[in-house]
A and B are shown apart, each in its own frame.
Chain A
């Protein structure tokens, strides 16, 4: 039987070599392209005939817009409007990546740390630049707790810096680990359906099958939740950089 981890294997579909760089178009790239086209398609098609009473497509587009809009308003406030396009694109891309992964035989590109780390680094570098642009060198005050005697700063500043630098790691690992663990778990339990079913004349397969059904529902919830968490953390980081305490 196939290994539970085989679903995460990157397979090159079109080989592209640029010097020593392997720029092959892989199954991961394919699903990123699908997510991109699907996301743009829903929004463009949905809003092409903007009606007062929305149709199905328009409802989806409006729901997503409202959802992210409210999220930004609640976390950053009205200043956050400027960052709406970025957060919205990020949210839709991750959400579609997670959801596409729930389709059987599909590839989940968010289950690869390199993808999520790249997304998290974009957020992290962007937020840091934003902080320096808004506050200049005052941004370094971020790392200096007020009212602490001098010698203690020697200890506390490195801790604060490490804590700040660990943001992209926890941000990316959260998404990647959730997707990886969920998909692996489903695959492992799916293996039990066959394994137990084969020795007990299919009776033993019922329980794991029921379990997979429940886990799939849970996994869909997690797929949404993780996209949401990524978006809300991005909002909170931007909020931190805008209004330093």
Chain B
């Protein structure tokens, strides 16, 4: 049946071109743009900052209290690690706001600026 064959090929070709158009549009969209928008939206950002500070502080207290409990030096390490945890929390916030995003661990700042592809890596960029 040449007619039916022709028809199905035509529809497949049509589908192919339509698929290509969709995928082109998808590729051309600036990748990660939307992710960044979500990650940076007001409430989301505020929640993240609050969470970062609380998580850091809570962990500092936990470590400090644990050390004190173990060594029997009660307020010493608790105070020390409370402060360190608080600073660590702020460090995370600083990283978030300077565009190092979710990345933890030290990164050179020039590094982030040098690599052009960094901007395309979602909230990290």
* A residues adjacent to B (C-beta < 8 A): 52-53, 74-75, 142-146, 155, 158-160, 162-167, 169-170, 173-174, 177, 225, 228-229, 232-233, 236-237, 239-240, 244-245
Contacts and interface: CB of A to CB of B under 8 A. Distances in A.
A159 B101 contact: no
Contacts of A142: 105-106
Nearest to B121: A75
Q: Which 10 A-B pairs have the closest CB atoms?
A: A162-B88, A170-B55, A163-B88, A145-B106, A169-B55, A142-B105, A166-B55, A245-B107, A166-B59, A159-B88
Given A162-B85, A166-B89, A236-B124, A146 B15 contact: no
Nearest to A221: B38
Interface in B67-118: 81, 84-85, 87-89, 91-92, 101-108, 111
A75 B105 contact: no
Contacts of A145: 106
A232 B85 contact: no
A240 B100 CA distance: 12
Given A75-B124, A162-B60, A166-B56, A146 B104 contact: no
Nearest to B15: A53
B103 A236 contact: yes
B13 interface: no
A163 B32 contact: no
B51 interface: yes
Contacts of B120: 74
B63 interface: yes
A11 to B, nearest CB: 29
B105 A169 contact: no
Dominant secondary structure at the B interface: helix
Which of B89, B104, B105 has its CB near the most chain A CB atoms (within 10 A)?
Answer: B105
Q: Is the interface of A mostly helix, strand, loop or mixed?
A: helix
Contacts of B63: 162, 165
Contact of B35 (A164, A232, A239): A232
B104 A163 contact: yes
11 contacts: A53-B15, A75-B121, A142-B106, A144-B106, A146-B106, A162-B88, A166-B58, A169-B55, A173-B55, A174-B47, A232-B35
Nearest to A228: B38
A106 B31 CA distance: 36
Contact of A165 (B12, B59, B102): B59
A53 B54 CA distance: 49
A74 B122 contact: yes
A145 B103 CA distance: 14
